[in-house]
Amino acid sequence: MKACVACSAVFAAVLVSWTAVSAQIPGMVQPKHYPWSDASLSPDQRADMVIRQMTLDEKIQLLHGPGWQALFAPQESGPLTRAISVLGFIPGVPRLGIPDLQMTDSNQGVSGAGVKGRYATALPSGEAMAAAWDPALSYEIGTMIGHELRAMGFNMSLGSGINMIREPRDGRTFEYKGEDPLLAGTLSGQELKAEKALHLITDVKHYAVNDQDAGRIVVNAIIDKRAMRESDLLAFQIALKDSGAGAVMCSYNRINGTYACENPYTLTDVLKKDFGFKGFVVSDWGGTQSTVNAAMAGLDIEMPGNDSFGEPLKKAVEAGQVPMERLNDMVHRILRTEFDSGVVDDPPQPESPDVMRGFEVAQKTEEQGAVLLKNAGNVLPLSAASIRSIAVIGGHADVGVMSGGGSSQVSPAGGNPVPPSPELLKNPLASFFLVAVYHRSAPLKGIEEKAPHAEVHFDPGTDPAAAAALASKSQVAIVFAVQHESEGMDLENLSLPENQDALIEAVAAANPHTIVVLESGGAVLMPWLDKVAGVVEAWYPGIRGSQAIANLLFGDVNPSGKLPLTFPKSEADLPHPIHLGPPKPDADHPVPKLAGAPGMIGMAMGIGPFFDVDYDEGLKVGYKWYDAEQKPVLFPFGFGLAYTTFAYSGLSVMPGESTTVSFTVKNTGRRAGIETAQVYASIPDSAGEPPKRLVGWTKVELGPGQSKQVEIPVLRDRLSVFDEASDSWKLVPGQYILRVGGSSRDLPLEKTISY
């Protein structure tokens, strides 16, 4: 009994101490009991109770950020003193116990943390995550990101991104998760589900058809409803269903003539009605172009400005242009999401991030996401016991690994080891878009540690002749080739920049055992492919890139990544061989005046004359295009080699509400490995669909010579098509062919069923 009394005394002292400490944490709402504090009530009930106590000004306050001007305003008093990131902040309503919204990007880790002197784990890029094809890993990634968000005090995540790869030259390809809606939606859904489980508001972006960044705020994406519903919008639908995400970020572009952030079809008809989305829609930063149109179409929050949803919205409500019912719906969606996510009942508590756990997840993601594309003569894995000399060439491999730029940029620990040129820094946008940032994880060091008995020499690759000379004196030459991508710009083409193709050609001519390690945001052209022995797609490898790449090259890890997007043979084979951007301004193409995009911010958004991009390929996104047009590719969707081989047999199919596809996978090699077994369906010809679509997959881990029987459920909705006439999904009667194998173009098993 005395012990219990003593425990109570200690607990009371700790509680008093914590109350004193928490009172000093900016933005933390102090514990107080309100009628809506009852967690047994539904989020909708709690939200409605709060709304009844709110003033008009308090409601408006929740619907917009502080404005671009907040970047330059002194923050000595007022709500902004509580902001972790000024442009990711919406003040709450302290008198009602409603917390501030503290938002930040987190596609590949918590971005911008370095501005505040904080560390965040730099994960591999979104395409690397997608190349793992592993929902369980995506959940683990989300858990790690979620913990780091909470540790820094953020309560809302501005990720994950899942725009379809209709335009592979898009500068934000590296942020996304490939060209298939089922793959992208499933993986993003698990990542967001994990973050929500940690009591964070989660967000999926950029909604929708934001498939290029060149002129992103003046481009008009022309696309039919069926194509949208079966590709870009389907990815969002799957992610939202699996995750219960609380927010959707609408994009800059127009869709069939109407801005995405004021598009009633995509925001209300599809998202809020058909998908049953109960959360809120937040604009991309500077993407709000009106007040009444945007509010009535379904936009709920303007960020980061207040040009449309500040005083203009208040006046529109008072004038009856925006009904109070709609205003209350906007506020309800925000409050409901705050209660549903847990940010009210369990606010983040600042703490030190678990750096070692971040390292583990980053390395695991790269090891599972890197894709072995070529391995002639089994040049890989390298043998540490027998190799005596290695030439490491190019890509700044002596100091770090590349990352993608823009709002998803995770601050490099210790700073960027590859300083930009003074000339580049004269451009005010350079630090955000143009500067290639490297993380201090040097592949050279990882290779040296794996081959302690070998002479390892580095050449920067700036002089192909010098690099070739070093390669000729080495047993193996490893060329690191880089392709920088960033928000705010698109690639001019899919070729490696800065004469790297010539570098690889020269090195390969000097050494037949040349291996190319690609650090790219997406697909690249490879005119030298037939001349090199090995190719590894490492994507943007993250903070543990050195260790992961070395483990893959030396066989401590057997590669298991599979491509989440097609690598074409040439740009002539793309649906749009010529990449369109804003035309040059003239009398017929004036530069429009757009809200929320002043000065250099407007430049970053791609301000210029309006222009159209007609996605007339429709349903044929990615591999579906190459299949339908019967075009050969460099590497197909779903492709990836390993240091072993796999065989498929014994396919059986049991139709029903959920069709069960069963087959056997055997490891026919001498090493343990992991195979991603994929199931594709061909829909009856009468449906007018591309030749096949991904309908399921699973990862199979096998020892040498081991076999496993695999079962993959295929739900009916994965076989359905969208019917525009009835605005519904339908299962077309007829014969369906189910195909099984290791990539979209290696499908040795097939069976036909009827519905």
**DSSP annotation string for 395-413:** TTTTT-EE--BSTTPPPPT
Residue 504 shares a structural domain with residue 650: no
In a domain, 667, yes or no: yes
Q: Is 645 helix (H, G, I), strand (E, B) or coil?
A: coil
For residue 605, pLDDT over 60 is answered with no
State phi, psi for 455 to the nearest 5 degrees: -85, 120
Segment 61-101, tens digit of pLDDT: 999 999 888 877 777 778 899 999 999 999 999 999 999 99
In a domain, 727, yes or no: yes
**Are the beta carbons of 67 and 305 closer than 8 angstroms?**
yes
Token pair 């502080």 in the structure block, residue: 66
In a domain, 661, yes or no: yes
The amino acid that residue 467 corresponds to is: A
In a domain, 539, yes or no: yes
State phi, psi for 23 to the nearest 5 degrees: -65, -20
∠ CA 515-496-359 to the nearest 5 degrees?
65
Least Cα distance to 453 among 386, 400, 517, 506 occurs for: 386
CA torsion angle 491 492 495 500 (round to 10)? -90
Residue 650 shares a structural domain with residue 559: no
Share of the chain above pLDDT 70, in %: 94
Residue 448 shares a structural domain with residue 542: yes
The amino acid that residue 144 corresponds to is: M
At residue 73, the pLDDT reads 77
In a domain, 114, yes or no: no
CATH number, domain at 485?
3.40.50.1700
Segment 366-382, tens digit of pLDDT: 999 999 999 999 999 99
Q: Where among 572, 590, 625 does a domain terminate?
A: 572
How buried is residue 707: exposed, middle or buried, by Cβ count under 10 Å (0-12/13-18/19+)? middle
CATH number, domain at 664?
2.60.40.10
Q: Where among 510, 543, 572 does a domain terminate?
A: 572
Residue 458 shares a structural domain with residue 554: yes
CA distance 620 to 690: 6
At residue 590, the pLDDT reads 79
In a domain, 118, yes or no: no
Write out the residue range of the structural domain in which residue 447 sits: 367-419+426-572
At residue 4, the pLDDT reads 44
Q: What separation in angstroms does the CA of 701 have from each of 373, 604, 663, 668?
A: 20, 45, 15, 13
> Into how many domains does the chain fold?
2
**Are the beta carbons of 391 and 511 closer than 8 angstroms?**
yes
Residue 555 shares a structural domain with residue 649: no
Residue 404 shares a structural domain with residue 541: yes
Q: How confident is the model at residue 581 (pLDDT cuts 50, 70, 90)?
A: confident
Residue 391 shares a structural domain with residue 497: yes
In a domain, 470, yes or no: yes
Beta-carbon count within 10 A of 283 CB: 29
The token pair that represents 192 in the structure block: 């967001």
Segment 547-575, tens digit of pLDDT: 999 999 999 999 999 999 999 999 999 99
Segment 215-272, tens digit of pLDDT: 999 999 999 999 999 999 999 999 999 999 999 999 999 999 999 999 999 999 999 9
Residue 545 shares a structural domain with residue 676: no
Least Cα distance to 409 among 427, 428, 433 occurs for: 433
Residue 568 shares a structural domain with residue 648: no
Pairing of strands 203-207, 646-654: unpaired
At residue 30, the pLDDT reads 52
In a domain, 489, yes or no: yes
Residue 564 shares a structural domain with residue 692: no
Beta-carbon count within 10 A of 563 CB: 28
**Are the beta carbons of 718 and 695 closer than 8 angstroms?**
yes
Which run of H or of E encompasses 295? helix 292-297
Average the pLDDT over each of 8-17, 50-59, 126-135, 144-153 and give the range with the smallest value: 8-17
Q: Where among 572, 607, 631 does a domain terminate?
A: 572
Segment 477-517, tens digit of pLDDT: 999 999 999 998 999 999 999 999 999 999 999 999 999 99
Residue 396 shares a structural domain with residue 529: yes
User: Which residues fall within 8 angstroms of residue 728, CB to CB, at 6 or more apart?
Assistant: 722
Alpha helices in 541-646 (DSSP H): 545-553, 599-604, 623-628
Pairing of strands 156-158, 101-105: parallel
**Are the beta carbons of 231 and 186 closer than 8 angstroms?**
no
DSSP string, 210-251: ----TTTTTEEEE--HHHHHHTHHHHHHHHHHHH--SEEEE-
Q: Is 103 helix (H, G, I), strand (E, B) or coil?
A: strand
Residue 558 shares a structural domain with residue 411: yes
The token pair that represents 382 in the structure block: 């390298």
CA distance 402 to 550: 16
Token pair 């929740």 in the structure block, residue: 62
pTM of the model: 0.94
